[in-house]
Chains A and B, each alone.
Chain A
Amino acid sequence: MNVTAIIMFLAFVAISLGITCWAARRGTSTAKDFYAAGAGLKRFQNGHAIAGDYTSAATFLGVTALVYASGYDGMIYAIGFLVGFPMILFLIAEPGRYTFADVAAYRLSEAPVRAIAGVNTLVIVVFYLIAQMVGAGKLIQLLFGLPYVYAVGIVGGLMMVYATFGGMLATTLVQIIKAVLLMSGSALMSFLILWHFGSSLEALFREAVALYPKAAAIMAPGGLVKDPISAISLGLALIFGTAGLPHILMRFFTVRDARDARTSVLVATGFISVFYSLLFVLGFGAIALVSTNPQFRDAAGGLIGGVNMVVLHLADAVGGSLLLGFISAVAFATILAVVSGLTLAGASAASHDLYARVIRGGRGSEDEEVLVSKAAVVAISLLAMGLGVMFENQNIAFMVGLVFAIAASANFPVILLSIVWPDLTTRGAVSGSLAGLLSSVGLVALSPGVWTATLKLGPAPFPYDNPALVSVPLAFAVSWAVSVLDRSTSAALVRASFAAQHVRAQTGLGIE
């Protein structure tokens, strides 16, 4: 138990709960307020909120842990996470509303596309939540010395409170505060690390190379991504996965107009670029300062709390318990804000896409919709808690890589085709998306990381960890083939309406 750290930590959690109460009083009564914060956020705020969504605990804890364990290969993840970001802006950010279902459903028949999009969103949200739950659970376990299961329970409970009562406005406010704090925390730690090495990156890297078991190998790829197929597959998943992440897409539409949306993306990209570059310094700093320090080892010689917690030990090593408390609080707030953003995206898929438009055919009342989304928040949280316990020892950045693979397979091909290809039909979109979803989730389940390491079922039937190289092309191929073969009258109508979609997408007409 570290009292200073715990006081810092509790203060922060209290402040963010206060914000939630305030936001709840200001009103999350209409569906639009609940999901999109009334579309009235300022662009700079929104930029920070996007950055906040994107700099999740999985990246902060996970990428530093990956760099610590595998050296250079952690950087491949950081770069991939970043590169996907401009791609959304260039390719698909302009047309659209709440969720990608609105983008795809504009021209295609609404019910089937919404149904599959809603399912995709829920699957992606749940998988993404696992990574965040593991991070948060480990953090609470380390800080308070609680058993892991209780820690996951606490995080899940707080996440429900946040998302149910606060809605998007509270989540956004917490994201903004957190983005600024996370950035300052990382910058401070990088500064302290470099100061320790006489402001010389060379000295820092030299020390890391000297201490690392595989020596100079940490400065080159190969520690984690061992063969060409894994490298290409990971690359595909990372660059195209971002475009399929529902909580990121949702965030693009919380500002008033396209101009503001673009400016907020620029703010966010600048922020994320600096942050990811700093993570690399933190990871190498951890090799140099944490790996040999017996203070951070448990009885068995492993890192206390697991490799995912290495950045917290680093905070302790360079700044003592005050910095440890600060970084823990920031990391925890990061997780809480990201999980509530994610949970909201899942809830919006369940209530807006599945319930209001598909089940009730657009005839449900707004009260019902808000009620369904709150029930969905509770269900999603419970599921994430259960899975979080199951995946306790997985590296969280690796798990985020898998989520990106699913998003890149299930959502990205259909979103892209619906925007650029006039001949995409409803059947093509639904079957392509389904093919992407099933193949990516199926191959992830059969991969060494899940089949062997988590489920302990012996040698994995599918030899690669990341499925994107198979599942992304498969989704494109199925969409294309089914669309081309679709000779129904509705298919002809869909093809004919591309021109209207094109005009709307280019001008913004008819977008609320």
Chain B
Amino acid sequence: MDLQRIRDYPAFRQLASERTRFGAGMSLGMAGVYFTYILTIAFWPQLLGRPLWSGTVITWGVLIGVGLIAFGFVLTAVYVQRANSPFRSSQPTSSGGSAMISRRTCGVLFTTACALLSDPVGPIDRRPHSARDRR
């Protein structure tokens, strides 16, 4: 398989950059919200000690804490939903100019196609290393 050719394949480039940006964006979102919370604890803990409304003992800190846990779950759900849905490329493909490639995931099928395109011998060699070496 020719990694260089895969790398130069426009749909791969687009997929890789979209995926990297998406993953980085999600992590920054999570870390940003979390560190805002941590810095609040570090410098203005009394802010989190305010009651939600007058007369209650439940504080903003409790609500925000539970909210953060929920936020982590929601981000994960968004990520999994996006990463497991078909990848759509707006780049023209080498196999005849249809504008859309629909792929099951950002992973396996796409690579099989790339390997077929670049390797005249056959699809990805799934034999163990030892078998490949004896070739």
Where the two chains meet, the residues of A that have a C-beta atom closer than 8 Å to any C-beta of B are 72, 75-76, 78-80, 82-83, 85-87, 89-91, 94, 201-202, 205-206, 209, 216-217, 219-222, 225, 227-229, 231-232, 234-235, 239, 257-259, 262-263, 265-266, 269-270, 273, 276-277, 280, 499-500, 502-504, 506-509
C-alpha spacing A367/B38, complex, angstroms: 48
C-alpha spacing A277/B62, complex, angstroms: 10
C-alpha spacing A216/B41, complex, angstroms: 16
- The verdict on A231 contacting B41 (CB below 8 Å), with A79-B65, A257-B107 known, is yes
Task: Check B124 against A87 for contact (C-beta < 8 Å).
Answer: no
Name A511's closest neighbour in chain B (CB-CB): B107
- The verdict on A257 contacting B26 (CB below 8 Å), with A79-B68, A216-B57, A222-B45 known, is no
Q: Which residues of A contact B4 (CB under 8 A)?
A: 499
Task: Check A263 against B84 for contact (C-beta < 8 Å).
Answer: yes
Task: Check B57 against A258 for contact (C-beta < 8 Å).
Answer: no
Task: Check B80 against A91 for contact (C-beta < 8 Å).
Answer: no
Q: Does B16 contact A (CB under 8 A)?
A: yes
C-alpha spacing A257/B23, complex, angstroms: 18
C-alpha spacing A225/B12, complex, angstroms: 47
Task: Check A508 against B38 for contact (C-beta < 8 Å).
Answer: no
Can you name 25 A-B pairs with beta carbons within 8 Å?
A79-B69, A82-B69, A82-B72, A85-B76, A87-B27, A87-B30, A90-B27, A90-B30, A91-B27, A202-B57, A205-B58, A219-B49, A220-B45, A221-B45, A222-B45, A228-B43, A231-B39, A239-B31, A259-B84, A273-B70, A276-B69, A280-B65, A506-B15, A507-B111, A509-B111
Counting from the closest, the 9 A-B pairs by CB-CB distance are A220-B49, A235-B38, A228-B42, A507-B111, A231-B42, A90-B27, A90-B26, A219-B59, A221-B45
- The verdict on A86 contacting B69 (CB below 8 Å), with A219-B57, A220-B46, A507-B110 known, is no
- The verdict on A262 contacting B61 (CB below 8 Å), with A89-B76, A509-B115 known, is no
C-alpha spacing A80/B41, complex, angstroms: 13
Q: Which residues of A contact B107 (CB under 8 A)?
A: 257-259, 507-508
Q: Which residues of B contact A222 (CB under 8 A)?
A: 45, 49
Question: Quick one: CB contact mask for B1-38 with A, threshold 8 Å, 1 for yes?
Answer: 10110110000100110010001101100110011011
Residue among B1, B41, B105, B106 having the largest count of chain A Cβ atoms under 10 Å: B41
C-alpha spacing A239/B84, complex, angstroms: 25
Task: Check B79 against A503 for contact (C-beta < 8 Å).
Answer: no
CB distance from B28 to the nearest CB of A (A): 9
Task: Check A273 against B73 for contact (C-beta < 8 Å).
Answer: yes
Task: Check B42 against A72 for contact (C-beta < 8 Å).
Answer: no
Q: Does B101 contact A (CB under 8 A)?
A: no
Which B54-108 residues have C-beta < 8 A from chain A?
56-59, 61-62, 65-66, 68-70, 72-73, 75-77, 79-80, 83-84, 104-108
Pick the contact of B42: A232, A276, A280 (CB < 8 A).
Answer: A232
Task: Check B37 against A79 for contact (C-beta < 8 Å).
Answer: yes
Q: Which residues of A contact B80 (CB under 8 A)?
A: 89, 262-263, 265-266
CB distance from B42 to the nearest CB of A (A): 4
**Binding site secondary structure of chain B:** helix
Pick the contact of B79: A89, A239, A504 (CB < 8 A).
Answer: A89
C-alpha spacing A205/B69, complex, angstroms: 20
CB distance from A463 to the nearest CB of B (A): 16
CB distance from A39 to the nearest CB of B (A): 14
Apart from A229-B42, A263-B80, A508-B108, what 6 extra A-B contacts exist at CB < 8 Å? A83-B68, A90-B75, A91-B27, A221-B48, A225-B41, A265-B80
Task: Check B41 against A219 for contact (C-beta < 8 Å).
Answer: no
Q: Which residues of A contact B73 (CB under 8 A)?
A: 269-270, 273
Task: Check B108 against A83 for contact (C-beta < 8 Å).
Answer: no
C-alpha spacing A234/B31, complex, angstroms: 14
**Binding site secondary structure of chain A:** helix
- The verdict on A232 contacting B38 (CB below 8 Å), with A83-B72, A499-B7 known, is yes
Q: Which residues of B contact A231 (CB under 8 A)?
A: 38-39, 41-42
C-alpha spacing A356/B66, complex, angstroms: 45
Name A91's closest neighbour in chain B (CB-CB): B27
Task: Check A202 against B69 for contact (C-beta < 8 Å).
Answer: no
Q: Which residues of A contact B26 (CB under 8 A)?
A: 86, 90
Task: Check A78 against B16 for contact (C-beta < 8 Å).
Answer: no
CB distance from A89 to the nearest CB of B (A): 6
Name A216's closest neighbour in chain B (CB-CB): B57
C-alpha spacing A124/B88, complex, angstroms: 41
Q: Which residues of A contact B110 (CB under 8 A)?
A: 507
Task: Check A502 against B41 for contact (C-beta < 8 Å).
Answer: no
Task: Check A506 against B16 for contact (C-beta < 8 Å).
Answer: yes
Task: Check A78 against B69 for contact (C-beta < 8 Å).
Answer: yes
C-alpha spacing A66/B76, complex, angstroms: 27
Task: Check B6 against A503 for contact (C-beta < 8 Å).
Answer: yes
Q: Which residues of A contact B43 (CB under 8 A)?
A: 228
Task: Check B16 against A221 for contact (C-beta < 8 Å).
Answer: no
Task: Check A72 against B62 for contact (C-beta < 8 Å).
Answer: yes
Task: Check B61 against A502 for contact (C-beta < 8 Å).
Answer: no
Task: Check B42 against A499 for contact (C-beta < 8 Å).
Answer: no
C-alpha spacing A507/B116, complex, angstroms: 14
Q: Which residues of B contact A91 (CB under 8 A)?
A: 23, 27
Task: Check B72 against A219 for contact (C-beta < 8 Å).
Answer: no
Residue among A76, A83, A217, A227 having the largest count of chain B Cβ atoms under 10 Å: A83
Q: Which residues of B contact A217 (CB under 8 A)?
A: 49
CB distance from B26 to the nearest CB of A (A): 4
C-alpha spacing A451/B59, complex, angstroms: 36
Task: Check B1 against A509 for contact (C-beta < 8 Å).
Answer: yes
C-alpha spacing A265/B79, complex, angstroms: 11
Q: Which residues of A contact B39 (CB under 8 A)?
A: 231-232
C-alpha spacing A315/B124, complex, angstroms: 55
Task: Check B56 against A86 for contact (C-beta < 8 Å).
Answer: no
Pick the contact of A85: B6, B15, B72 (CB < 8 A).
Answer: B72
Task: Check A86 against B30 for contact (C-beta < 8 Å).
Answer: yes
